Amino acid sequence: METRPETPLETLLEIRGLEVTFDGFRALGGVDLSVGKGEMRFLIGPNGAGKTTLIDVITGLTKPSAGSVVFGGQELVGRKEHEVVRLGVGRTFQTSVVFEELTVLENLDLAASFRRPLWSLLRRRRGVSEAVERALETTGMSALAASRAGVLSHGQRQWLEIGMLIAQAPRLLLLDEPVAGMAQDERARTGELLTEVARDHTVIVVEHDMDFLRRYASQVTVLHEGKVLMEGSMEQVSADPRVQEIYLGRAREGAEDAVR
Ligand code: ADP
Ligand code: MG
């Protein structure tokens, strides 16, 4: 069995005692999570486990009632969303942020400009910036650069969104269910894309499709009812009776995230 060497990674994200309550309902009940620089961590768990809420807290969208999120040595709790982006945390949303009337290239260029100072936006630039070029290459969308985003397939649109994140040169990427609604060939392409992105980024991927996880996940954190149930390699996690129970239990109820 292939295991990672036990050399300690430099910690990029350190979450401690995170609690979130919505009208008395505890969506997160004391989450601790450390992610090392350069890691690709999969965050899994059934619907309602608190995965999106955790991403919302990291990115400043949701305020926790307790706990801390330290990113690159800086506390993120209490910061506004745009400050978190500026510190180098990029995320995808479950709803699309692509401008349909603009081309793929224009969408990427706009995303890349997000962290540029205002004066540089006022200057007319010729050609394609290095950040945009890199995003086009990584996502394999160079041939679609001049296409209007509105004509893209669902999968291509997801890749564009990942490209838009890369163009912002984040230190941490948070991807919330990037293969949801994708056909099988698009899933495979996305798995390869994530592997490629993870070569030079730290990435947290929320996913609950077991087939996809078995193929592309190595380090996995399982969230269940607002708490970390366990952490380990995909082999360890998928062999754990508690994990099998929460997934198979759902399967018996006929939930959509059934293990096949
Ligand atoms: P996941 O992404 O793992 O499916 P979520 O983080 O979206 O789960 O949700 C965790 C729990 O918190 C769910 O029970 C959900 O209904 C609840 N929840 C999430 N956001 C809100 C909100 N804004 N107001 C009230 N309850 C919420
Ligand atoms: Mg979610």
- Strands 40-44, 89-91: pairing is unpaired
Question: pTM of this prediction?
Answer: 0.88
pLDDT at 97: 80
With respect to residue 253, please indicate whether it lies within any of the assigned structural domains. no
* CA neighbor of 197 nearest in space, from 246, 243, 137: 137
Ligand closest in space to the Cα of 45: 1
With respect to residue 17, please indicate whether it lies within any of the assigned structural domains. yes
With respect to residue 210, please indicate whether it lies within any of the assigned structural domains. yes
Residues 241, 188: Cα–Cα separation, whole Å: 28
- Does ligand 1 come within 6 angstroms of the Cβ of 50? yes
Distances in whole angstroms, Cα of residue 136 to Cα of each of 95, 111, 112, 178, 220: 21, 12, 12, 18, 28
Same domain, yes or no, for 164 and 219?
no
With respect to residue 49, please indicate whether it lies within any of the assigned structural domains. no
pLDDT at 129: 86
pLDDT at 247: 78
Q: For residue 206, which atom of ligand 1 is closest to its CA?
A: 2
pLDDT at 122: 57
With respect to residue 70, please indicate whether it lies within any of the assigned structural domains. yes
- Neighbour count for residue 92 (Cβ, 10 Å): 21
With respect to residue 207, please indicate whether it lies within any of the assigned structural domains. yes
Same domain, yes or no, for 193 and 156?
no
Based on the structure, what is the number of domains in the chain? 2
- Does ligand 1 come within 6 angstroms of the Cβ of 49? yes
Q: What is the CATH number of the domain that holds 217?
A: 3.40.50.300
Positions in the chain short of pLDDT 50:
254-260
pLDDT at 128: 76
pLDDT at 211: 86
Contacts of 218 (CB under 8 A, 6+ apart): 4, 40, 42, 233, 234
Structural domain boundaries, residue 128: 98-169
Same domain, yes or no, for 141 and 182?
no
Ligand closest in space to the Cα of 24: 1
User: Among 25, 174, 207, which residue has the most ligand 1 atoms within 8 Å of its CB, making it the best to mutate?
Assistant: 25
CA of 128 to the centre of ligand 2 (A): 35
Q: For residue 25, which atom of ligand 1 is closest to its CA?
A: 26
pLDDT at 94: 62
- Does ligand 1 come within 6 angstroms of the Cβ of 94? no
For ligand 1, atom 5, which residue shows the shortest CA distance?
50
